[in-house]
């Protein structure tokens, strides 16, 4: 499987070639449209070449360009969790049960970012789901969605209620923020910086492993072997979480 990585400011998007066009995994912040188009151009791909967008979750750094893409390519079919519908329509991060940063060091770094980065608002242009979009729940094969690549979509909550991952038959998995290689120096241990539920998050790692994941392609940071999930599962502790109020 040829994998094209589109690196934006902090988010990795991925493109996979299928019989009927390219499958895009995630977008970026709403202010990254020109950068996104340049990355596509570098790969010799047009927005109209993309048949499906798989949205791993509704956060602004993954869904911010959703409206721009649909406007540019109205035939694009967006694949998303049923839990994403309301937060996408609201145009902001939704955390019904609150959330926490993974540890004190991450809490400090993110508090500094919030102070100085005026674009970091956790909001994005609201998106209203269209009849042509594809809503998934549970485990869904790509063939059910009209995507000609052997693989499936599995639910991987913990970072957000609507998190889903794409697991291909060859072991490549595209996980959004269900795992990460990001801020390793701050002790993240392949975990995300923000969590809704740590126990649920590690259960999602088990889901990825149980479904044959061999190589993890996260939305943030470089790709890595699934052995890193096995080696680091449960290493972060609930007692170290910093609750966001």
DSSP string, 101-118: ESSHHHHHHHHHHHHH-T
How many Å apart are CA 8 and CA 51, to the nearest integer?
Answer: 21
Percentage of the chain modeled with pLDDT above 90: 94
Q: Which domain holds residue 74?
A: 3-243
Q: Structurally, how many domains does the chain consist of?
A: 1
Q: Choose among 79, 194, 97, 196: nearest CA to 141.
A: 79
Write the CA distances from 228 to 20, 123, 167, 211, integer angstroms. 34, 32, 17, 16
Q: Give the N- to C-terminal CA distance of the chain in Å, as an integer.
A: 43
Low-confidence winner among 11-15, 75-79, 117-121 (lowest mean pLDDT):
117-121
- Other C-beta atoms within 10 Å of 181: how many? 15
Dihedral of CA 36/37/43/48: which sign?
A: positive
Residue pLDDT, tens place only, 115-125: 999 999 999 99
- Other C-beta atoms within 10 Å of 230: how many? 11
Residue 106 has pLDDT above 90, yes or no: yes
Which pLDDT score, from 0 to 100, does residue 20 have? 85
In sequence order, what are the residues at sequence separation of 6 or more whose Cβ sits closer than 8 angstroms to the Cβ of residue 226? 171, 173, 208, 209, 213, 214, 215, 216
Dihedral of CA 39/214/185/64: which sign?
A: positive
pTM of the full structure = 0.97
Torsion of CA 129, 217, 27, 106, to 10 degrees: 100
Q: What CATH number has the domain bearing residue 110? A: 3.60.15.10
Which pLDDT score, from 0 to 100, does residue 96 have? 84
How many Å apart are CA 176 and CA 87, to the nearest integer?
Answer: 17
Average pLDDT over residues 187-210: 97
């Amino acid at each position: 499987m040829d994998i094209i990585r589109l690196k934006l400011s902090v988010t990795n998007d991925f493109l996979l070639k299928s019989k009927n066009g390219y499958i895009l995994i995630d977008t970026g912040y709403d202010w990254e449209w020109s950068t996104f188009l340049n990355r596509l151009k570098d790969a010799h791909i047009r927005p109209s070449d993309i048949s499906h967008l798989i949205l791993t979750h509704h956060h602004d750094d993954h869904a911010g360009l959703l409206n721009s893409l649909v406007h540019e390519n109205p035939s694009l079919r967006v694949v998303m969790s049923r839990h994403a519908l309301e937060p996408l329509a609201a145009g902001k991060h939704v955390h019904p049960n609150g959330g926490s940063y993974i540890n004190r060091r991450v809490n400090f770094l993110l508090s500094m970012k919030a102070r100085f980065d005026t674009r970091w608002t956790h909001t994005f242009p609201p998106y209203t789901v269209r009849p042509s979009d594809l809503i998934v729940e549970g485990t869904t094969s790509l063939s059910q969605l009209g995507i000609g690549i052997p693989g499936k979509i599995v639910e991987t909550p913990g970072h957000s209620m609507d998190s889903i991952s794409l697991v291909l038959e060859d072991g490549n998995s595209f996980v959004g923020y269900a795992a990460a290689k990001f801020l390793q120096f701050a002790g993240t241990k392949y975990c995300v910086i923000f969590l809704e539920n740590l126990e649920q998050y590690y259960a999602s790692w088990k889901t990825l492993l149980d479904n044959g994941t061999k190589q993890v392609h996260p939305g943030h940071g470089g790709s890595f072997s699934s052995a890193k999930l096995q080696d680091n599962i449960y290493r972060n502790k609930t007692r170290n979480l910093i609750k966001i109020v």
